[in-house]
Chains A and B, each alone.
Chain A
Amino acid sequence: MVCQDLMKSDVKCISPLTTLEEAAVRMRDDGIGFLPVCDDVGRAIGTITDRDITIRAFASGEPGSQPVEPFMTRSVVACRRTDDLAYAVDLMSQEKVSRILCVSEEGVLEGVISLSDIAQLEDGALASYTLRNVSDREVHA
């Protein structure tokens, strides 16, 4: 199985200039906790989660009118849509993330695979392997 068989491709990304409040509204309205941040040609340059908004911005008294850029995670964990799924799973375990971005050769965002997508697979061993290897912070108490 390759990544494009599993990835969700209807992924919305935000701009680095999107405000924290706008990002939070998007997360609320779409029922998601994670947004890729893309530049103006669609290349993934970071990610931001609901937890990032709370911990990195709100907890320090930063107003919601600030852009997400200084608060996003800049290291993007990504693979190609044609990569084998096992490769993506290894990378997620290694990097201790619960989501991986699928990008084109040019770095343009094409889809996202999350731990819960992998958990839905028939191959339960793959899912439990991944789950055991992602950090506590991602599935935190």
Chain B
Amino acid sequence: MLCRDVMKGDVRFITAQTTVARAAALMRDEQIGFLPVCDLTRNVIGTLTDRDIAIRVVADNHSANESVERFMSPGAVTCLSDEDLSAAQDLMGEMQVSRIICVGEDGQLEGVISLSDIAQLGDGADATATLRSVTVREARA
């Protein structure tokens, strides 16, 4: 199975200049917790999560009108959309992330695979293995 077969393709993304307020509203309205940050050519330059906003913006009392650039995690864990899913799972475990960004040959954003997407697959043992190796911030007490 290829990453392309599992990834969600209609991914919302923001730019480094998007305000934190806009990013938070987008997460609320789209019921997501994660946004890729892209440059003008749709190359992924960072990621921003709902947690990043809580612990980097709210915790330090920053203004909602600041751009996401200084609060995002720069860089991203990516794989090729045409790669085998098992390679993506290995990378998620290795890099301790619960989501991986799928890109095309040109490096442009094409989709995202999350741990819950893997959990929905038939093989529950697979997802459990990934969950065990990932530090799942969302699932930590």
Contact = CB atoms under 8 A, between A and B. Distances in A.
Interface in B83-123: 98-99, 112, 114-117, 119-120
A28 interface: yes
A19 to B, nearest CB: 10
B16 interface: no
A141 interface: yes
A140 B32 contact: yes
A69 to B, nearest CB: 16
A18 to B, nearest CB: 13
Interface in B111-141: 112, 114-117, 119-120, 124-125, 127-129, 131-132, 136-141
A54 interface: yes
A91 B115 CA distance: 21
Name the prevailing secondary structure of the A interface residues: helix
Contact residues on B (Cβ < 8 Å of other chain), bracket: 35 or more
Name the prevailing secondary structure of the B interface residues: helix
B125 A58 contact: no
A38 to B, nearest CB: 15
A131 B134 CA distance: 13
Nearest to A100: B141
Interface in A99-141: 99, 112-117, 119-120, 124-125, 127-129, 131-132, 136-141
A43 to B, nearest CB: 18
A22 B131 CA distance: 30
Given A50-B54, A113-B141, 4 more contacts: A21-B58, A54-B27, A54-B53, A58-B64
